Copies of this chain bind each other. A is one copy, B any other.
Amino acid sequence: MALSDFGSAARNEAGIAAILPILKERFGDIFHASAAMRETHAHTTTYIPSQIPDGVLFARSTADVQEAVRICATHRVPLIPFGTGSSLEGHVNAPAGGISIDTSSMNRVLAVNAQDLDCTVEPGVTREALNTYLRDTGLFFPIDPGANASLGGMAATRASGTNAVRYGTMRENVIALEAVMADGEVVRTAQRARKSSAGYDLTRLLIGSEGTLGIITGLTLKLQGIPEAISGGVCPFPSVEAACDAVILTIQSGIPVARIELVNALQMRALKTYSKLDYPETPCLFLEFHGSPASVAEQAERFGEIAEEFGGGPFLWTVDAEERAKLWKARHDAYWASLTLRPGAKGLSTDVCVPISRLAECIRETEADIEQAGLIAPIVGHVGDGNFHTLVLIDTDDPSDILKAENFVARLNERALRMDGTCTGEHGIGQGKMKFLEAELGHGVAVMRAVKHALDPLNIMNPGKILLPRGV
């Protein structure tokens, strides 16, 4: 149980009672109100307590979503969009009850335009399903947040991951969205052209809006050519500072690194036991380079030289896919290895992001903070973007343990803000970070409120996320 109050807005009991039979009658088998189904649509992947919706609709089409929105709007009942449930900040919770709109049945790839390097998909298509579908085209969708999330959910949280340093985040990789707005109208935010100066950027307004402005029902996405060659490997460093200095020089040198991940000493120690491999117990960078065979070799060699300048190395790298997978195994095992550091504990994942010139300082202060607080919290980071995660291992049955973790997270977020960073690089605000958003953007939050009120005057679109209730 969490000590923080994540909000439980007043339920509109009369409205909820009114719509359940309407939805059942209208949608039949694709509408569920069983406790079991409702519970699986509020699970959160962190320690924020579940808040269960009153019903679950497995929408099959934009028209289904439209109709659900209109029914809910008439009775002022919340709608909570649901992709795969892998979000980390309570996005799919239903603090005021309402209907979970599960998009997993909207899982068709509608078009692949190979010449234009784009595709159009329904929101329930997962990133792995899309890349499987694209297998024979020579194209792929690069954004990789770790989980096999739905593309609708990834857009809603402005997700990114390990290769954002090269390919950008969802912000840069969505060309257009289709969404059902709070009034039940369907909006297509842009045409399929690569760029446009046609009015306000509704695409970017919806990306990262976490379902609070509209429900995404379609996406047109940029695709990338599968790189001809990939090189990758792992490189130890004497300190986090040395590793970060190498990252900065790598990026300044214009090496188009595809992935550059930091794993700190504590995480490496966990991995050593978990993966039964002979890793050094010092900070390591895991790297991947994409390009022509000549270019990926050149990039790896240049990085090796940079690492050496800062006392790092040896940089073990390869172009062989199998060998590369072995070298990267530690990075892939990081999450599971972390959990072995405190058996039975649950992980709370943070995701601050700072300018990379401040990254070493931010990680060093955070490591000291973790030690002083007596927490166990290994660190991995998408350091090319200045983004890193601590996985705080907590005993969710111990309120003092939760409090300790919550206080640490507050200090971490404040530290990032002080360094001109953000409290969330890629997970979103959800319920967990609402109070930090106010600290981060000041009057900007008032602007967000005005936009929210204009587009969702009844506050039925995923209420209780991003924006604290007024006056809190």
A-to-B contact residues, CB < 8 Å: 113-118, 157-160, 164, 168-169, 171-172, 181, 185-202, 204-205, 207-209, 213, 224-225, 227-228, 248, 251-254, 291-292, 294-295, 298, 351, 353-357, 385-387, 416-417, 420-429, 433, 437, 440-448, 450-455, 466-467
Contacts and interface: CB of A to CB of B under 8 A. Distances in A.
22 contacts: A115-B248, A115-B357, A116-B355, A116-B356, A116-B357, A158-B196, A171-B201, A185-B446, A187-B444, A191-B421, A193-B387, A193-B421, A197-B351, A198-B422, A199-B429, A200-B205, A200-B209, A201-B207, A205-B205, A225-B252, A225-B254, A451-B451
Given A451-B451, A454-B454, A199 B445 contact: yes
A442 B185 CA distance: 11
A442 B254 CA distance: 42
A112 to B, nearest CB: 12
A295 B158 CA distance: 33
A197 B114 contact: no
A353 B113 contact: no
B199 A252 contact: no
A122 to B, nearest CB: 18
Contact of A425 (B193, B248, B424): B193
Nearest to A290: B254
Nearest to A466: B199
Contacts of A386: 193-194
A65 to B, nearest CB: 15
Contacts of A387: 193-195
Given A191-B421, A355-B193, A117 B199 contact: no
A244 to B, nearest CB: 10
4 pairs of A and B residues whose beta carbons are closest in the complex: A204-B204, A454-B454, A115-B357, A196-B422
Given A115-B252, A171-B195, A192-B420, 13 more contacts: A115-B356, A115-B357, A187-B444, A193-B387, A193-B416, A194-B385, A195-B353, A195-B426, A196-B424, A197-B427, A199-B208, A201-B204, A451-B455
Contact of A204 (B171, B196, B417): B171
Given A194-B386, A385-B195, A454 B444 contact: no
A449 B63 CA distance: 24
A423 B198 CA distance: 7
Contacts of A422: 190-191, 193, 195-198
